[in-house]
Amino acid sequence: MILNNLLEKIPNPYAIVQNSLNAYFTTFHDHTASGIENIPEEGPIIFAANHTSFYDPPVIGIKNPRQIHYMARDSLFRGFFGDCLRSIGTIPVARGTADVKSIKAIFKALKKGEATAIFPEGTRSESGSLKVPQAGIGMIAIKSEATVIPTRIFGAYESFGKNTNLPILGIHIQVVYGKPLSLDALDSGVDNPERYLEASKRIMCAIKSIQPIKTTIL
């Protein structure tokens, strides 16, 4: 109860978490972000990224000018930690099911002109390579008419891949935000029986086309 009262008095918990994680990744992984100029200052946004690591969600957001509504499995929303997740706008998702409540929460955030992050592949890649996307992100992108920012993360798999028990420090992690994808670029039309899957494939193709940016680490 005391911890919950303290949590309610924090003016901007998202900013505190963002700055803390930024300090960690910048210090221990020389984290860099490129393509920030591609992120619209306002309006609904879906950051669509490859997924290879536990690191992926924070890496997308720590240098991002937009606050992101992340998604996390509902089993994490327990006790004080669950309250912390809610305080930064995290959306609980029932793993392995068609969670209507979670989808509604995503649409609600996008309707308000906010941003969310979605991994088209659904689960982390065990090899670090890109996987076949699921239709979900295509459906959400088309129905919400949100701008999609294809996002690719480099170095997170090598630092903390699915089969790694502990993170390997010192590996450079880079996130690259690609050019925005409009609804016209994604939607193949209502006559296409695989309309949503096709949109997901186009998003995944845009992610695949992103290459790492050469940076100078001082």
| pLDDT tens digits for range 96-108 | 555 788 889 899 9
Mean pLDDT, the chain, integer? 90
CA–CA dist 202, 62 (Å, integer): 26
Q: Report which residue type is found at 42.
A: E
What residues contact residue 6 under an 8 Å CB cut-off, 6+ apart? Answer: none
Question: What confidence tier does 8 reach under pLDDT thresholds 50, 70, 90?
Answer: low
pLDDT score, position 217: 47
Residue indicated by tokens 């609904």: 44
Name the architecture of domain 2-209. Answer: 3-Layer(aba) Sandwich (3.40)
**Model-level pTM?**
0.90
Per-residue model confidence (pLDDT) at position 208: 97
For the segment 65-83, the average pLDDT, to the nearest whole number, is 84
d(C-alpha 187, C-alpha 141), whole Å:
9
The predicted pLDDT at position 85 comes to 83
CA distance 44 to 54: 25
- Tens digit of each residue's pLDDT (9 = 90 or more) over 35-54: 999 999 999 999 999 999 99
Contacts of 196 (CB under 8 A, 6+ apart): 135, 136, 138, 139, 142
Residue 1 banded pLDDT, cuts 50, 70, 90? very low
**What is the DSSP code (8-state) at residue 158?**
H
Percent of the chain with pLDDT over 70: 92
pLDDT digits (tens, 9 = 90+) for 128-171: 999 999 999 999 999 999 999 999 999 999 999 988 889 999 99
CB 31 within 8 A of CB 170: no
Question: DSSP readout, 56-67?
Answer: HHHHHHTT-SS-
